[in-house]
Amino acid sequence: MDDKPQNNTSPAPQRGLHFWLVILSLATCIFISALELSGVATALPVIVSELHGSQFVWVGSAYALAATAFLPTSGGLAQVFGRRPVMLASLFIFAVGSAICGAAPSMNVLILGRAIQGFGGGGLASISQIVMSDIVSLQERGKFNGLLGISWAIACGSGPLIGGACAEHGQWRWFFYLNIPVCGFVAALVIFSVRLKTPGGTVKEKLGRMDWIGNIFVIASSTSCMIALTWGGVQFPWSSAHVLVPLILGLLGLTGFFAYEAKLAQHPIVPFSLLSTRTGLSGYLQTFFMPIPLAALIYYMAVYFQVCQGASPIASGVDSLGMSVVTAPSGVVAGLSVAITKRYRPQLWASWVLVMIGTGLLSTLKANSSLASAIGYFVVVSVGLGISSSTTYFPVLAPLPVEANASAVAFFTFVRNFAMIWGVTIGGTILQNQLKRNLPAQFSDSFPEGAEIAYSIIPLVRGLEQPLKDEVRVAFAKSLSVIWKFLVGIGGLGLLSSFGMKHLPLHTDTDKDWGVAASAPPDP
């Protein structure tokens, strides 16, 4: 297929009250998911200590894994039942998961709650992006994504502060409970104010067009890969069957999934046309590479601030503000520049260069480096991530007709979430393995074999005697440096993949089958 965009001419969407209420709903959904992502990292050391848990990586991975697994299904359900019912169901599931997390008596129950949260969060992420593509043309997307970026920035800025404050005062459970009234507010807004079109047809007919085999393929394969990545080098050696078998089966399953979607599926989740152009493939590769440093930085810069800089949970949240303060504005500026210039390649090239420079600078941090240096380097990479996070969907959608938006956006969101799991789990694996090598043997041997020691150690560092305290701080700085060097390589892969995209004109229309209904009253 040629890299040639196809247009479906449709009337310009109405920009009345209901349109802006939809935007408000999307922004609030983005706020919920970003708050959950950014806030847990600063509270996690206290949570692990109180619940006497050892499998800290699963607190992040369970959420991301469940969110990713549900993404293809949520996109299909949105086609069957419409956008609004799936949005409401996702909000309900997210609220239930939050309640379970808040009441969790053990680490296993917390991980279960995080998984349930993930199912809801995955639905919210998918529907938010799909609805945005329904009501805003690609040419205007940069401007409206700026509004969502502001919501994301507020959440990412307040999340570490709220999570850290709750943890520091022994009230980390309220960090999860706070999600419940927010979900209720959004649900009320959606029920009574948001009017979205839903194409006709019976439920039986639409369910028959869902790709059930493809859903099973992708859920099972993704889960298998993530189990292997979480176990590798921590609970089991990388060369053990416990790691290699699920990893190989997961990768083979994903390969089989794409082959099935291309050749056999009658109504594929991922139509082959999405990946059949050079520009589209480049866009999806960049979409995969971008969240890896984003997730790793959110989780492991908090570790650096708390261990090497001696910051409290709430202070590490303040130190992490640099990311949210610059990520959203840089994304807004990048989106506006695309809307003005109708070009997206220069912005993406610049973003990857900044990611490589910023992570390279982070890799030079020592245990005794100044806080200003750490925050400054963090800001550099955050600017790059802000630009790429707001522009990677342009090469994804530009080569496609607008009718393919829902499938393209659902797969785009799946790829992004799947990559975030890699950022958390690979970063955690590197940190765990490097700490085993760098920590004083007499200290690390005091922890059970197979325990994920990083988050078990963090609350203890302040009370350690010298010189052990400084030895532990140096060990963490050296171990984290390996993560930052790994992210330099990821930035290089992102830059390399960006050279494959062509400049294409951006759509000026939307799919006429979807969008804000003109006058229909809201469903009860």
**94-138 residue pLDDT tens:** 999 999 988 888 888 888 888 898 888 888 877 887 888 777 777
Residues 204 and 219 in one domain: no
Q: What angle do CA 79, 81, 86 make, to 5 degrees?
A: 90
Residue 518 placed within a domain: no
The model's pLDDT over 404-462, given as tens digits with 9 standing for 90+, comes to 777 777 788 788 877 887 887 788 888 888 888 888 877 776 665 544 566 667 777 77
In the chain, the number of structural domains is 2
Q: What is the C-alpha to C-alpha distance for residues 119 and 427, in angstroms, rounded to an integer?
A: 23
Residues 6+ apart with CB under 8 A from 87: 25, 29, 123, 124, 127, 131, 190
Residues 337 and 350 in one domain: yes
Residue 170 placed within a domain: yes
State the residue range of the domain holding 125.
17-210+267-498
Residues 159 and 180 in one domain: yes
Residues 192 and 282 in one domain: yes
- Domain end among 266, 281, 304: 266
Residues 407 and 322 in one domain: yes
- Domain end among 225, 243, 266: 266
What pLDDT score was predicted for residue 408? 78
Residues 242 and 370 in one domain: no
Residues 107 and 201 in one domain: yes
pLDDT tier at 12, thresholds 50, 70, 90: very low
Residues 67 and 27 in one domain: yes
Residue 524 placed within a domain: no
Residues 6+ apart with CB under 8 A from 85: none
Residues 6+ apart with CB under 8 A from 283: 392, 393, 394, 395, 396, 397, 501
Q: What CATH code is carried by the domain that includes residue 285?
A: 1.20.1250.20
Residues 222 and 295 in one domain: no
Residue 153 placed within a domain: yes
Q: What angle do CA 155, 410, 147 make, to 5 degrees?
A: 35
Residue 226 placed within a domain: yes
Two structure tokens written together for 241: 């069957």
Q: What is the C-alpha to C-alpha distance for residues 455 and 357, in angstroms, rounded to an integer?
A: 28
What pLDDT score was predicted for residue 95? 93
- Whether the pLDDT of residue 144 is over 80: the answer is no
Two structure tokens written together for 487: 């992210």
Q: What is the C-alpha to C-alpha distance for residues 148 and 128, in angstroms, rounded to an integer?
A: 10
Two structure tokens written together for 142: 């940069």
Residue 61 placed within a domain: yes
- Whether the pLDDT of residue 377 is over 60: the answer is yes
Q: What is the C-alpha to C-alpha distance for residues 284 and 501, in angstroms, rounded to an integer?
A: 10
- Domain end among 247, 266, 285: 266
Residues 361 and 376 in one domain: yes
From residue 426, alpha-carbon distances to 232, 299, 316 in Å are 9, 12, 22
Residue 515 placed within a domain: no
Residue 63 placed within a domain: yes
The one-letter amino acid code at 434 reads Q
Residues 366 and 492 in one domain: yes
Residues 240 and 387 in one domain: no
The model's pLDDT over 238-258, given as tens digits with 9 standing for 90+, comes to 778 888 898 899 889 888 888
